[in-house]
Amino acid sequence: MLEIEYEFREKDLIHFNELRLANDPVMQKKIRQNRLLVPGVMLVFGLFYYVYYVDMMTTAYITLLALGWGIASPFIMKIDLRRQFFDKYTENEKKAMFGIHQLRIDHEFMFERSPGGTTHKTPWSEMLRIERHKDYIYVYIDIDAAIVIPRETVKKGDLKAFVKQAESMIDRLG
């Protein structure tokens, strides 16, 4: 059957988790609230200073701080989320996760050999779907878990034929 070999890197893990968060309405709501609510409260304080104390300089500082928060907070949250992604894994798990992976299609399973030397076999019936993106292929094995295949790091095998065969196996046996 078909087989591919690819390299899985840290940036691929980050990309997958950020994609999941971008499609999560609860997280997007929290980001919007953080981006709008905090600066809104700060602007109310600035307006209070202007009306009550007639202090234009303090009002200007508070307004600039509120605008800075509104612009910078998504980037700060993104950096913090990336840190949290990596804190979930131990050093041994990271060594076993990042590196050269091999996927092989069999009649009943998809075999995955990871850099740590372990081999996983996943039945086609447990796989949900395959998503194609510009730079990645995602083979979903759970609602929030997938085998991430970066297109640019495929070292051996025909990725298009592999994905087509895997899709047909999921449709037929899934």
| In 49-158, alpha helices (H) | 56-87, 91-97
| pLDDT score of 174 more than 70 | no
pLDDT at 24: 86
Mean pLDDT of 123-137: 92
pLDDT at 93: 85
Q: For residue range 32-69, list pLDDT tens digits in order.
A: 888 888 888 888 888 888 787 787 888 888 899 999 98
Would you say 27 and 19 are in contact if contact means Cβ atoms under 8 Å apart?
no
Please report, for the chain, the start and end positions of each structural domain, with discontinuous segments joined by +: 3-8+93-173, 16-87
Structural tokens at position 126? 């447990």
101-130 b/e (C-beta count within 10 Å ≥ 16 → b): bbbbbeeebbebbbbeeeeeeeebeebeeb
Structural tokens at position 76? 């700060």
Q: For residue range 73-118, list pLDDT tens digits in order.
A: 888 888 888 888 888 888 888 888 899 999 999 988 999 998 878 8
Q: pTM above the 0.95 mark?
A: no
Which has the closest alpha carbon to 4: 150, 109, 82, 103? 103
Would you say 152 and 95 are in contact if contact means Cβ atoms under 8 Å apart?
no
Structural tokens at position 62? 């508070």
Which has the closest alpha carbon to 142: 162, 159, 122? 122
Q: Under the phi-then-psi rule, with left for phi > 0, alpha for psi from -120 to 50, and beta for the rest, what region is 37?
A: alpha
**3-8+93-173 under CATH 2.30.29.30, yes or no:** yes
